Structure formats: structure tokens, C-alpha cells
Amino acid sequence: MSTPKVAVLGGGVMGTTVASAVLAAGWDGADVTVAEPRAERRAELTAEHGLATAETAAEAVAGAGVVVVAVKPNQVGAVLEEVAPALEADVVVVTVAAGLAAAFYEERLPAGTPVVRVMPNTPAVIGKGASAVAPGAHASEEHVALTERLLASTGLVVRVAEKDLDAVTAVSGSGPAYVFYVIDAMAEAGVLLGLTRELATQLAVATVEGAGAMVSQTGEHPAVLRERVSSPGGTTVAALQVLDEHGVRAGILAAAERCRDRSLELGAPAPGPSAS
């Protein structure tokens, strides 16, 4: 299987995560170039990960068969303008930038350039992520499969239609923040009830990890597993009743809907100047 040279545009957390994943997938460090304007950060990327680096995006994409866009959404337009003239004819562009449709890239890149959008989440940094992959108008099965191969070591990778990426953002993209919120609340409850903060946090983290693993490994519906913990008239039922009274489930649903709506807002084209 071929291993085209890879250029990662952006040496931040997600760019470094993707570059490390590419190395784990079998690429040599010399064939993975990270574009990073800060000299100190370039030195770190080479020393810590064995990656090649370049000061500019245009330098990084020279000879690359895959270009990964890992800059902030508000920087993407300028980066595409810089690299478009330097791209190889058969390049595939993979983007982990949130909110921007594949069409945004296709309009700014040479005609026919395949674009694959990825919605990752932060646990990808430790190989426990969840990423959704969606092809643009010109991306083939081979382009999507290559993207999946690049991301395999980051955790779960699934395919979706591009129209579903806003929903993915609401569930897994922003989802780690919901879980951190719950862990923090559980730990705070432990402190309120007399535990040390360190112990309460350890118990909360282990509980969330274990519960997630049970759902994953047993394949059973979360509601079924919940019922097994809920003895009639017992402590868990009493606690769940309070969660229902406070609308916790409804709050999570509403939060996900608002997250989806905000993702749509961020991805909407900016209004053009009014006609004079």
C-alpha cells in the first residue's frame, strides 16, 4: 500500500495529533512535514516526534500527496490561498477544521481537488478519540479509505454524510466537554458528602471509564445496564428520580441541539457586502 508524503498545516494540538497518528500508521517521519511558523515549536516537533517541518504552508505542501488542514477555521481561507498554486495534481486535502463545508475548500482549490472533512475530538490526543469522516464532491472511496488509515490510531473512526457532521459535532465533537462537566459535578458531590477532592475525582473518573467500557464491551443498551443498577426502592432509583426532576436528560438534549445549531451558524457563509 502506498504511503504518499503528508503535509500537516498547523503544529498545534490537533495538527500534532494527526501527524503522530500518521507516524503510527507506518509513515516515516521524513515523509511527514508540519507547517509551523514558530521556530521553537518546529524544533520541538522534530526533537519529540522526528517530524520534518517547514516555516510556511506553501513549503510544506511541495511534493505532498495528502495535505491536512489543521489551523483555526478563521485562518483556513488564507492558508488555502497560499497553498493552492503549490499543490500536486493528485493531492487529497483532509481538513480537521470545524464548521467549514467541503465546498468552501473546493471553491478555493484547483478544480476537482478531492476534499475529505473530519470531525475529531480531543481524546484523539491519547488514542481514545471519536472521528467522523465525510467526503466532499470529488473524494472517492480510495480517498476516504486513505483518510481512515491516517487516523486509525486516534481511536474510533466512522463514515458519515457531510450533512450529518453538525450532529456529530453535537454528540462527539463537543461531547468530551459534557463528560468533563459530569465528572466535575460528581467529584464536587463527593466533596460535599465528605470525601477528599482527590478521592472523589478518582472515583468519578473510574466510574465514567468503567460505565463507558461496559456499554462498549457488552453491546447492551445503556438503559438496560442502568436498570440493572437500579434495585426497586434502592439508592440508585432515588438518585435517578432527582436527576429526572432536575431535567438532566432534557438539558443534555437541549445542549446538543444548541451545539448543532451553533455549528450550522459557524459554517454558514458570511453575508456579502450590500449593493450600492
Q: Are 115 and 105 in contact (CB under 8 A)?
A: yes
User: Which of 140, 132, 150 has its CA nearest to residue 26?
Assistant: 150
Cell of 73: 477555521
**CATH assignment of the domain containing 212:** 1.10.3730.10
Last residue of a domain, one of 165, 185, 204: 165
Q: Which domain holds residue 42?
A: 6-165
Interval 111-164: pLDDT, tens: 999 999 999 999 999 999 999 999 999 999 999 999 999 999 999 999 999 999
Rounded alpha-carbon distances, angstroms, from residue 235 to 195, 238, 271: 18, 5, 54
**CATH assignment of the domain containing 74:** 3.40.50.720
Give me the pLDDT at residue 99, please.
Answer: 85
Q: Which residues contact 204 (CB under 8 A, 6 or more apart)?
A: 183, 186, 187, 190
Interval 207-265: pLDDT, tens: 999 999 999 999 999 999 999 999 999 999 999 999 999 999 999 999 999 999 998 88
Last residue of a domain, one of 97, 132, 165: 165
Rounded Cα–Cα distance for residues 3 and 13 (Å) = 23
Interval 37-84: pLDDT, tens: 999 999 999 999 999 999 999 999 999 999 999 999 899 999 999 999
Do 180 and 203 lie in one domain? The reply is yes
Q: Are 178 and 130 in contact (CB under 8 A)?
A: no
Rounded Cα–Cα distance for residues 249 and 223 (Å) = 13
Last residue of a domain, one of 130, 148, 165: 165
Do 201 and 243 lie in one domain? The reply is yes
Measured at the CA of 18, the angle between CA 6 and CA 119, to 5 degrees, comes to 115
Do 185 and 149 lie in one domain? The reply is no
Residue 274 domain flag: no
